Amino acid sequence: MRRVITTTTPRRTARAAALLGALAIVAGTVLGTLPAHADEPGAPPAATEAPKVDLILDGSGSMRTIDIQGKSRMEVAQQSIAEVIDALPNETEFGIRTLGATYPGSDQKEGCKDTQQLYRVGKTNKVEAKTAVATVRPTGWTPIGIALRAAAQDLGTGPTTRRIVLITDGEDTCAPPDPCDVARELASQGIHLVVDTLGLAHDDKTRQQLICIANATGGTFTDVRTQEQLTKRVKQLVNRAQDTHAITPAKVSGTDKCADAPLLTPGVYTDREKFSEHRVYRVPVKAGEELRASVSVTPDRAVARDYGVLLRATDSGGQELVRGSDAGSGRTDVASTGLRWSAAEDDDSASASPSTGSTGSKGAKGTSSDVLSGTRTVCLVVSNSFAAQAGVQADPGLPLELTVDVAAASPAPDGPAMGLGRGWILLGVLTLAGLLAGLIFGWLARWRIAVWREN
């Protein structure tokens, strides 16, 4: 009986070891064919520094006014900022500055110097930051201009975009310097600074000043009516810092015709588009390459309902190659869409490779000059159907961000199954692994039963 056990055990153990080894080899071979995403060509470079945001909180005496859902403006701002701090992404470096919150006297000259760094820009201790915000009491004047300059110094300089979020309930009471001039001054320094403004009061002078500050730096203005709206909007702006900090968009001016449109290379660009306008840009695409483009348009003022954004690719003659309609991301602060288009290897025809929600046409011919040069000129047309609400300023246009990339064309799918790509490979690996594992455990179970019976 012991001899039978001794003879049977090594044989069955050897079978199990062989099967396990085969499973490991097969899985390793197949999984080894899947590229590591971090090393994929064309992947965006790693961020050189963390996202940086400095929030300016108005602590002037008017913030005591009780007119937002039965609460004072300061109380609403403090509660919203506390919620924003709780939701801060770990990698974001966040700071808080006040204006008009520490000088209680009546000397305007002294009061107009009143701006203090409440919490230094850096990694956030959420308890300390919320405690600091809770201590602010509405006190003095409204020196927005000098607070903007000081916040720019808080954020420092570097290769990536920084954001200032200004929450105030009134226009500057200390000019000069005029805060709009300060915003233009900061924008002209090329320090990659964006100022987003949020107004808690609704008079025309305050609104126009805050719109001017935002427009000068490519930021946005929000007319705040409720605490929920303030909280949601500030969270969106902080999260947007994560999207925009790694690459600073280059400024570009689209045209209304492809012939004189700016020629773009792969990169991120920023422009402004008027309500219901078309802006055109050109991108050269060689045979065997794929154009990938996306656009985001921010409605930074009150707009009518039922709006959207359209991105189309056409040839130089105006024939549409592919389009991407509103992507429906669910975000309320931005409308975006994207498309993909591949040039055929022989450069004599084009096949559309649209992204989700896009439709394309095949066989579009290029111009004779395009064919001879081996490069197709693709015209990107950005359109929007936004309409301003009554009394809303139309100029300048809405801020848009356009991302352009050109990469080796993906192989055209032969059928529905091919569209799954790596998913089928992974499914095959999992199926094979399950089959072999089932066989192994089945044999091991039979072996244990045989040994038990022999004992």
The CATH number for 270's domain is 2.60.120.380
Residue 410's pLDDT band (boundaries 50, 70, 90)? low
Last residue of a domain, one of 244, 268, 287: 244
In this structure, the answer to whether residues 89 and 232 fall within a common structural domain is: yes
Three-class secondary structure assignment of 37-72: HHHCCCCCCCCCCCCEEEEEEECEHHHHCEEECCEE
The least confident of 74-78, 85-89, 236-240 is: 236-240
How far is 111 from 142, CA to CA, in rounded Å?
Answer: 8
Residues 333 and 444 in one domain: no
**Alpha carbon distance 225, 207 (integer Å):** 13
Helix axes 73-86, 227-244, angle to 10 degrees: 40
Per-residue pLDDT, 342? 85
pLDDT at 141: 95
Domain shared by 149 and 202, yes or no: yes
Domain assignment of residue 231, yes or no:
yes
Q: What is the pLDDT of residue 242?
A: 78
Are residue 69 and residue 211 in the same domain, yes or no? Answer: yes
Of 214, 244, 274, the one marking the end of a domain is 244
Flag whether 47 is in a domain. Answer: no
Q: Which residue, of 186, 214, 244, is where some domain finishes?
A: 244
Handedness of CA 278, 282, 287, 291 (dihedral sign): negative
Same domain, 346 and 286: yes
**Do 379 and 430 belong to one domain?**
no
Q: Do both 192 and 177 map to the same domain?
A: yes
Q: Which of 232-236, 327-331, 407-411 has the highest mean pLDDT?
A: 232-236
Q: Do 309 and 444 sit in the same domain of this protein?
A: no
The answer to whether position 43 is within a domain reads no
Residues 6+ apart with CB under 8 A from 298: 220, 333, 334, 398, 399, 400
> Which band of pLDDT confidence, cut at 50, 70 and 90, is reported for residue 331?
low
Residue 2 lies in a domain: no
pTM: 0.56
- Cβ distance 353 to 340 under 8 Å? yes
Domain contains 215: yes
Q: Is the pLDDT of residue 169 over 90?
A: yes
| Rounded-to-10 torsion of CA 383, 385, 386, 388 | 120
Residues 309-334 have a mean pLDDT of 76
User: Are the CB atoms for 402 and 380 separated by under 8 Å?
Assistant: yes
Q: Are residues 369 and 231 in the same domain?
A: no
Residues 250-274, mean pLDDT to the nearest whole number: 91
In a domain, 413, yes or no: no
pLDDT at 140 > cutoff 80: yes
Percent of the chain exceeding pLDDT 70 equals: 75
Q: Same structural domain for residues 59 and 31?
A: no
333 part of a folded domain: yes
pLDDT band at residue 454 under the 50/70/90 scheme: confident
pLDDT at residue 66 tops 50 = yes
Q: Are residues 191 and 256 in the same domain?
A: no
Question: CB of 97 within 8 A of CB of 147?
Answer: yes
72 and 210 belong to one structural domain: yes
What are 15-34's pLDDT values in tens digits?
444 444 444 444 444 344 43
Q: How far apart are CA 75 and CA 82, in angstroms?
A: 11
The CATH number given to whatever domain includes residue 224 is 3.40.50.410
226-246, pLDDT tens digit by residue? 999 999 999 989 988 876 656
Query: Domain tally for the chain?
Result: 3
Q: Please report the pLDDT score of residue 344 as a whole number.
A: 65
303 is a domain residue = yes
For residue 112, pLDDT over 90 is answered with yes
What phi, psi does 125 have (nearest 5°)?
-85, 105
Structure letter (DSSP) for residue 176: S
Tens digit of pLDDT for each residue in 354-395?
343 344 433 344 444 454 457 889 999 999 888 877 777 777
Q: Using the predicted structure, report yes or no on whether residue 121 has a pLDDT greater than 50.
A: yes
Task: Give CA–CA dist 405/279, Å, rounded.
Answer: 18
Instruction: Give me the domain span that covers residue 438.
Output: 8-35+420-454
pLDDT tens sequence across 272-311: 888 888 999 999 998 888 898 888 887 777 777 767 888 9
250-251 sheet: strands from edge to edge: 250-251, 267-273, 398-408, 289-297, 335-343, 350-352
| Contacts with 190 (C-beta within 8 Å, 6 or more apart), sequence order | none
